[in-house]
Structure 1
Amino acid sequence: MPLPRKAWRHATTALILAGALITTPAPAMAFDLPQLGSATSGVNPSEEYRLGRTWLRQFRARAPLWQDPISRDYVDALIARLLPDSGFQGGRPLVTLVDSRLLNAFAVPGGVIGVNAGLFAFAEDEAALASVLAHELGHLSLRHYARQQARVEETQLPTMAAMLAGMLIAAGGGGDAGIAAAMGSQAAFIQDQLAYSRRFEQEADRQGLQVLRDAGYDPQAMVEMFRAMQRQSALQGGNPPEFLLTHPVTESRISDAQARAAGLGAGELRDPGPLYDMVRARALLTIHRDAPPQAASLLAQGDAAPAAERYLAALIRARGGDLAGALATLDTLTREWPDLPLIPTSAAELALDAGRHGEALRRSQHLLRLMPDYLPARLIEAEALLQQDARAAFEALRDLAEAHPEDPQVFTLLAEAAGRSQRAAWSHLARAEQLQLTGRITQGIRQLDIAEELAKQEGEIGIGGRISERREAFETYREAMKEFQ
């Protein structure tokens, strides 16, 4: 799809901004940096929230998403660990995972954080991944997007459209082409913005280093991550990873981070056990889905925990048709690591994928008795229930939809469960939600119209008010979508 002319015109600015964005600021004086503009100027927090949620819907509609509830739950938990010390006050950020082998992560106004599968492949330990997420949270807490808008003469709307274009380019591997196209028209303007962005990067580094230390990670992990990216760039003939295109790294910036990290010290470090390596295994298997042995080889090269190598071997064994052997390995690992719900959930997932719905249900429900709020297991339970008891699945998914109103996968399953349990109005309402969450607002509104008519026919009195409320919200998003055209 051709990108809008105004998006291309600002694409480099947007790519630079893609890691720089919202909420209540941490005091700049704490980092010995000059004030670059009021952190409350420009776009206000409610506008940032609206823009960010609209942006995410557009991104979902056009980017290759990595649909892995287990890995997303891990990233959610890691961000939750970093959040208390980050200065971010916009609530819990929304996480979206991208099915791309490119090394990238980004933050967007309104508290949206995106992570490519390729970032897991590159980051060999949890501290390395945490350093990138802490940096992104630094951008959000310092409200860099709003402060950038106070400087540029253009409105924020073309910039947000360009940011969408830029991240889609990056997700698809066309970052260099996008930047070259943008730089052809406004080189002087872009250079000015790049210099400004570098100061923002330094602020986010300093904020992120403190967050890392307070969360139990060695702040040197951020410095090591930057240097590893530079080495990769050199090995690739000067072609930098996507993350460095949106977060320019200079020697002075690395030196500053090095000095700050040394001054902070390591503090008391946490031991993540094999959990991170297991999630990394899932990412590697996603990236190398057509060559699973390559995923195993790369995991072993990273000095992974032996338990993670056994975990990946089990996933690969199941793909090769040996489900019994895979489940036996995972059951052994569960006994060895009883505090890692990822392992028994993976076993339930393998059973579900193999069509053994009864076993998937049994395994997921056993775990949920111990951890009733573990979303990946609840999703597997609901999907297994769909094959055996659609009404029970519908009730379970209605609860999940209330707790996770921004999760398209939940509404996809809810639409199916409602249809199978003869609740046609609810089925179309859930389908409407799934459509609007993935950027297809007009189609979602059509589904609301159908749901409203069916509700009248079926006598679903309580659903009418909900449909009216959701139509108003959908219309608001549809108007906001015009800003990205």
Structure 2
Amino acid sequence: MLMLPLSESAYAANDPTNIGETSVISIRQQESLGRSWLRDNYKRINPLNDIIIQAYSEDLVKRLKQGRQLSRYNVNLVISKNRQFNAFALPGGVIGINLGIFLLAESEGEFASVIAHELSHLSQEHFLRRLEYSKSNNRASLGAIFAGLALLISGNVPLGTAAIVGTIGYQTDELLRLSRQFENEADAQALELLDKGKFDVKEMPVMLGRLRSLGGNDQVAVYYRTHPLTADRMNYALQRARQYKVVTRQLLADEYDFVHQRALFLAGRGGQYLAKKNNSDRAYTDALFLLEQSKYAQAINLLKRVNQQHPTSRIVLYSLLDALIKGGSSNQALKLIDDSLRYNNANPTLEYYRALAYAKMEDYDKAILTMGGVTNHYLENPDPWLQLSIYYSKVGDRYNLFRTTGVYHLLSGNRDKMQANFQLAKREAGKDEVKIAVLQSTYARFN
């Protein structure tokens, strides 16, 4: 994330993990801007839309999101298909990560260190503190900077940097020099978050070292542009990491191995590095290839075997549910979900698959009820709303079809189609006061 400090001296006497707040813009305004940015740039972000990787990443954020000022934010996590190594944090609790992070990070601790770094930018309000310093704290300036960030995320580094620098008023060299202080501050708090989340803090300097060694690689060039990786920063992170006591870490190493293999598969690199992996990783990747080829029975058998070897892995569980439902074994999927919920209370991802299972069985009333609950968790994710609209179309409910389709288009960044569908829903509602009230409530919820 592109960050600049208030001044060289402003933090000289402060602990970098204990920075105050800024008064540039309220939390409510930040959240509004963050949501608007996500929707307006949905297509440019090119979201991954893989609920399994999304669920894993959100669980990891929860482990990291403890104490400090992070409790003020409802974090919206968006994952891009972009294979470049980059991540960003925006006002309002928006955290974005590229698929490239999953491809490069070889352990859960390394991956977590990147997310912890962005959460630290968020909690210390570096973005807004930079605006306060530059006096560019108006909505137009924020909009211009957000647009520049969208270009950076999509991989257009020259145009993205030009848009941001043009708004802030600094040349790139000066901008990068000043951002180093914020990077050190974010690193310091990231180590604290990693320690509290029971991750190995020493994985962070390892990740920074790997990034620095790949400095000439185009896939990490954008990260260098927004996160200066100087020797001083490397040494600073290493020295801070050594201050933490060595304790037993509750790592979910196997879980991240499955995530890593899934990311490689989705990036078209499935099977890569399998020579280094164990039989479970191989079987999991083989199952993904079989699913892609619609060989459901073989995929199910492989995933059941991996599930027996790793009964606590949610990644394997979700993948098995996906295979069972696609393979026409929805009853087995529902039983597996019920059994799993004994140990995973209020799991929205399991409920998502429950809705898919009901829909596969053509029990659309139950599918609607279940997926409706899922939308309350994945507030900014268009996919559950798309599924819900399909279910309403199956039962001939035109009013709710148009209402939910409108929300889907809004979250996907198409406001014109949102307005058109809401108008159609209003027409279907007629004089029904309850339907009109629900439509108004839906509109207000997302605006």
C-alpha separation in 2, matches of 1:28 and 1:74: 38
Cα pair 1:48 1:109 within 8 Å, conserved:
yes
Q: 1:271 to 1:440 in 2, by over 3 A?
A: same
Listed one character per residue, the Cα deviations across residues 282-324 of structure 1 (whole Å, up to 9, x for unaligned) are: 1111101xxxxx4212354xx4454223211221233345432
1:207 Cα deviation (Å)? 0.6
Q: TM-score, normalising length from structure 2?
A: 0.89
Q: Which residue of the other structure, out of 31, 39, 49, is the alignment partner of 2:16?
A: 31
Inter-partner Cα distance in structure 2 for 1:239 and 1:346: 28
Q: Is the 8 A contact 1:106 1:136 kept in 2?
A: yes
Counterpart AA for 2:413: G
Aligned residue pairs, count:
441
- Residues 293-332 of structure 1 aligned to structure 2 (within 5 Å): 294-300=269-275, 303-332=276-305
Instruction: Name 1:431's counterpart in structure 2.
Output: 405
Question: Which residue of structure 1 aligns with residue 201 of structure 2?
Answer: 219
The answer to whether the 8 Å contact 1:82/1:211 transfers is: yes
With 429-438 and 265-274 compared, the bigger mean Cα shift is at: 265-274
**One-letter amino acid of the structure 1 residue matched with residue 369 of structure 2:** E
**What aligned pairs does 1:269-418 form with structure 2 within 5 A after superposition?**
269-288=249-268, 294-300=269-275, 303-354=276-327, 360=333, 363-364=336-337, 367-368=340-341, 371=344, 373-387=346-360, 388-418=362-392
| Aligned residue type for 1:249 | L
Amino acid at match of 2:47: L
Q: 1:27 to 1:315 in 2, by over 3 A?
A: farther
Q: Secondary structure at the match of 2:438?
A: helix
Q: CA deviation at 1:445?
A: 2.3
Conserved 8 A contact 1:341-1:367: no
Give the Cα separation in 2 of the matches to 1:185 and 1:448.
36
Structure 1 stretches of 5 or more lacking a match? Answer: 1-14, 21-25, 289-293, 478-485
Contact residue 348 and residue 377 of structure 2 kept, 8 A: no
Amino acid across the alignment from 2:33: L
Partner Cα separation in structure 2 for residue 299 and residue 199 of structure 1 = 39
Whether the 8 Å CA contact 2:17–2:188 is kept in 1: the answer is no
Structure 1 position 351, deviation (Å) = 3.6
Structure 1 contact 86–207 (Cα < 8 Å) conserved: no
Paired position in structure 2 for 1:155: 137
CA RMSD of aligned residues (A): 3.0
Percent identity between the two aligned chains: 24
Residue deviations 1:58-77 (CA, integer Å, cap 9, x gap): 12143211011111110111
Alignment of 1:106-121 (within 5 A): 106-121=88-103
Is residue 100–residue 287 contact of structure 1 (8 Å, CA) maintained in 2? no
Residue 242 of structure 1, aligned match among 222, 229, 252: 222
Q: SS of the residue aligned with 1:114?
A: strand
With normalisation by structure 1, the TM-score equals: 0.82
Tell me, yes or no, if the aligned pair for 1:59 and 1:164 is still in contact at 8 Å.
Answer: no
* Cα distance, 1:332 vs structure 2: 1.4
Contact in 2 for aligned 1:390/1:417 (Cα 8 Å): yes
The residue aligned with 2:113 is: 131
Cα distance, 1:468–1:168 mapped onto 2, change above 3 Å: same
What is the CA deviation profile of residues 175-221 of structure 1, one whole-angstrom value per residue up to 9, with x for unaligned ones? 24643687799985444433332111111011111111222122221
Aligned residue number for residue 469 of structure 1 = 441
**8 Å Cα contact 1:365-1:381 kept in structure 2:** no
The structural deviation recorded for 1:224 is: 1.3
- Deviation larger for 387-396 or 263-272: 263-272
Does structure 1 conserve the Cα–Cα contact (< 8 Å) formed by 2:109 and 2:203?
yes
- Aligned position for 2:8: none
Contact 1:409 1:434 in 2 (8 A): yes
1:454 to 411, 425, 428: 428
Distance in structure 1 (CA, Å) of the matches to 2:440 and 2:347: 32
Structure-1 separation of matches of 2:184 and 2:139: 25
Q: Measure how far apart 1:447 and its partner are.
A: 1.6
Counting only pairs closer than 5 Å after superposition, residues 25-64 of structure 1 correspond to structure 2 as 29-31=14-16, 39-64=21-46
**In 1: Cα distance, 2:122 partner to 2:170 partner:** 27
Paired AA for residue 97 in structure 1:
I
- Range that drifts further, 337-346 or 156-165: 156-165
- How far the C-alpha of 1:119 sits from its partner, in A, is 0.5
SS of structure 1 residue aligned to 2:79? strand
Please list the CA deviations of residues 410-442 of structure 1 after superposition, one character each: whole Å capped at 9, or x if unmatched: 111111112212221111111111111122223
Query: Once structures 1 and 2 are overlaid, which stretch shifts more, 319-328 or 387-396?
Result: 319-328
> Structure 2: how far apart are the matches of 1:32 and 1:271?
24
Whole-angstrom distance in 2 between the partners of 1:28 and 1:383: 55
Amino acid at match of 1:465: A
In the other structure, the counterpart of 1:16 is 2
C-alpha distance 110-183 of structure 1, shift in aligned 2 (>3 A) = closer
Separation in structure 1 between the aligned mates of residue 371 and residue 393 of structure 2, nearest angstrom: 13
8 Å CA contact 1:86, 1:134 repeated in 2: no
* CA deviation after TM superposition for structure 1 residue 125, in Å: 0.2
1:2-13 matches, within 5 Å, as none
Aligned amino acid, residue 325 of structure 1: Q
The Cα of 1:258 is off from its aligned counterpart by 1.2
Counterpart-to-counterpart distance in 1, 2:44 and 2:168? 27
Give the 3-state SS of the residue equivalent to 1:67 in structure 2. Answer: coil
